[in-house]
Amino acid sequence: MRRLFLAGGAALALVAGGVGLSGMAAQTPRNETFRMLQLFGDVLAVVEQAYVVPVDNKKLIEAALGGMMTALDPHSNYLPPDGFDELQERTSGEYSGVGLTITAEGGLVKVISPMDGGPAARAGVQAGDVISSIEGQSASGLTVSEASEKLRGAVGTSVKVTFLRDGEEPREVVLTREVIKIESVTGRIEGEFGYVRVSTFNEKTSRELTEVLDRLKREKPDLKGFVLDLRNNGGGLLTAAVEVSDAFLERGEIVSQRGRKPDQIDRYSAKPGDLTGGLPIVVLINYGSASASEIVAGALKDQERATLVGLTSFGKGSVQTVIPLNQGRDGALSITTARYYTPSGRSIQKIGIEPDLEVARSEAEAKIVSRSSFVYSEAAYATALDASIGAERKGPHVPHEAPGADYDKEKDYQLERAFDVLRAGGDLSRLAVPPAGVVVTAPGTPPAANDDAAPEPQPEQRRR
């Protein structure tokens, strides 16, 4: 069985059949390939005989496999048997750990997103935080597998982790490991609108979304619109992303994925039946919204079904196929096999999806965007796959709107502006004037996202 990933978190779709691996090795001269394999064997033999202490050949070979895969791009990986098992557990919607989706790049272990309600989220860990030490030992240079192993442990035990955040002092947090039962969809009534939070995309998301929407419509039959919150949603199953998009669409393409060959194109389209009955929708995104989240945001934006509010998304637009080795007994390979494209034909790889109304949640977040070297995104990876359309992610800039220093820090300014957009019927020219304490960088209606990219004819991340 092979699995397709859009990893920003873990995005996966079960598929049957092959990936077309035959003939790939033939592209490298056979004699040179054999020579390099012999070199690998020679190096392993020297290490085994000459290294200062005895070595574990199995660990060395697994490390070599991991290095080979990560040399391709940040999302291609070798998963040892235990890592493959954990991946399957995560996509089922329940796992044990501290509730973090992490990755490694440039010798740093970084947080893609904390899981809603998990130990890390409750401790205030945020997307983009850097893990500097675990149990007093430096995390610098650790791989995702190594950092994950240190964060893992029996339920009820604790782990001491130090986090770094731009502009703040290092913060040491003690996290108690627990079973993370992922409630992927939650919702509530906010005045005349419904608020729906999707924290991840797993096997239960589509069903949970239907249940939440039904409940909200029963509680308030005269709802006037919905906010769909995808902030800090690191991704999930491709099938779930398609189903969530479909819930708000009557027709049209949701996403396409295109592989190495011109004929390797898969398209996913909506079926009739909008669960909201056509009510206005605002989608909240930020730089922690990745892969499957970007599929949903891109589909609803391109189909003119929703207005996007927040900050430019992560920019994860590639697809990984997970191929079990020896039926999973030897682990699996997660290898990039395609890019995905929004309905308008745009790749968002390394670029992200720009909101229609750019709004920072806080003054601190606005400062991070103004110094984009601190914004954690796909473009930050040195080995990231190119966008394929020649476009680039927007550089350092001051967001269009941001709360000032005197704004009430307990309020969620992005959510407040999302409700303002709904009250304006999605017409940004009719948007209410920002309240006192908010900094606006330019007068008038904010520009729409950059649509001038010509159309072309979803680091290993694990939750702990």
Question: CB-hemisphere CA count at 13 Å for 269?
Answer: 6
Q: Is 372 a catalytic residue?
A: no
Which residue in 316, 350, 377, 420 is the catalytic one? 316
Q: Where are the alpha helices (DSSP H) in 262-408?
A: 292-302, 363-370
Please give the Cα distance from 236 to 463 (Å, whole number): 11
Phi then psi for residue 249, to 5 deg, are -120, 150
Residue 405 class from Cβ within 10 Å (0-12 exposed, 13-18 middle, 19+ buried)?
A: exposed
Please give the Cα distance from 243 to 248 (Å, whole number): 9
Which residue in 96, 148, 291, 347 is the catalytic one? 291
CA Rg, the chain, in Å? 22
Q: Is 302 a catalytic residue?
A: yes
Q: Is 291 a catalytic residue?
A: yes
153 is written with which tokens?
């442990």
Task: Please spell the DSSP secondary structure of 94-158, one letter per residue.
Answer: EEEES-EEEEEETTEEEEEEEPTTSHHHHTT--TT-EEEEETTEE-TT--HHHHHHHH---TT-E
Please give the Cα distance from 327 to 403 (Å, whole number): 53
Which residue in 116, 229, 302, 356 is the catalytic one? 302
- Residues with catalytic function: 291, 302, 316
